[in-house]
Amino acid sequence: MEGIITQIQRFSVHDGPGIRTTVFMKGCNLRCIWCHNPETYSARIQREYYSNKCTHCGRCIDACRGGALGVCDGELVWDSKKCLSCFECENACINGATLVCGKSYTAEALCKILKKDAKYYQKSGGGVTFSGGEALLQSDFVFECCDILHEAGISVAVETASLVPEEVMVRAAEKIDYFMCDIKAMDSDLHKTLTGVGNERILSNIRLLAGLGKDILIRIPVATTLNGTDENMVATAEFMRSCGLKNIELLKLHRLAEHKYKALAIEEKYPDIPETTDADVERFYGIINGVLGK
């Protein structure tokens, strides 16, 4: 069993309780218009190219086994149909202009890395978090890692949009200790506008986890004027109350990932909206906590 991963982030303090190592998995079945991690869209290993770092030295062209790289009108061009995914171009580049996005690991190899910080997890009440993309699209790999980590006394969390088959979520409930579940919008039509899909399966899976007594944190990435409205916050809080859930986190959006879209040749669709302010977030917390009776 192998999984494809974009990044292993050690000493993370924002992806669950305590000090954690966060594993970013490749592949996602949502297309959120504010996505900060477009490199996780595809489940395949990809090439990232940062033209501002390229000096057109030609080393990558010489190293390319498939003849996928060349120069046109003074610019480096890449033919994806000829690419053999050998990524010798990254090894040849001395400027960091060409990078490989994604790496395959066996569960055993990954967990060997993750167990290095076991003492920090134990002292802080932390553990390992699988994120993405959507980590549960590689569920068999994640569950194999869970078994290995649990044998070592390490807890496991997942950041998930919950858009997976019910049977996957049932297995996840058996394997994973802590869930951070995103709800982008309570109105399904708005959810589809923001992410490309409706929210029926997502809400159903969250209800399932709640019914099984799992430890759940609901998270809302707040986009002002879109899902950042009083109406959506009230609806989300009412849904949480119906599930017996109390814990919520509101996430401010940023535009720090713009360079990634260009590097991956993905059209950016980030909405032209005002930045979410601290005052907005505090007011929304007040609305939600009022509904939840906190």
- The CATH number that applies at residue 155 is 3.20.20.70
- 144 burial type by CB count under 10 A (0-12 exposed, 13-18 middle, 19+ buried): buried
Residues 193 and 161 in one domain: yes
Determine the pLDDT at residue 76.
Answer: 86
Give the number of domains in the chain. 2
What is the crossing angle of helices 278-292 and 230-243, to 10°? 40
Size of the chain, expressed as the number of residues it contains: 294
Residues 138 and 250 in one domain: yes
d(CA 192, CA 176): 28
CB count in 10 Å sphere of residue 124:
15
Which distant-in-sequence residues (6+ apart) come within 8 Å of 80 by Cβ? 68
Residues 92 and 231 in one domain: no
Determine the pLDDT at residue 272.
Answer: 82
Which distant-in-sequence residues (6+ apart) come within 8 Å of 200 by Cβ? 188
Residues 170 and 67 in one domain: no
- Could you tell me which residues are beta bridge partners of residue 48? 99
Q: What is the pLDDT of residues 184-222, one digit of tens each?
A: 999 999 999 999 999 999 999 999 999 999 999 999 999
Residues 54 and 121 in one domain: no
Q: What percent of the chain has pLDDT over 90?
A: 76
Mean pLDDT of 235-263: 91
Mean confidence (pLDDT) of the chain: 93
CB count in 10 Å sphere of residue 81:
6
Which distant-in-sequence residues (6+ apart) come within 8 Å of 254 by Cβ? 36, 275
d(CA 127, CA 120): 8
Classified as helix, coil or strand, 170 is helix
Q: Does residue 73 lie within any of the structural domains?
A: yes
What's the domain range around 177?
2-25+106-255+268-292
From 81, 101, 121, the end of a domain falls on 101
Determine the pLDDT at residue 77.
Answer: 86
Residues 69 and 145 in one domain: no
Residues 181 and 76 in one domain: no
Please tell me the pTM assigned to this model. Answer: 0.90
> Is pLDDT above 80 for 256?
no
Mean pLDDT of 211-234: 96
d(CA 35, CA 77): 26
What separation in angstroms does the CA of 258 have from each of 68, 252, 262? 25, 16, 7
Residues 124 and 191 in one domain: yes
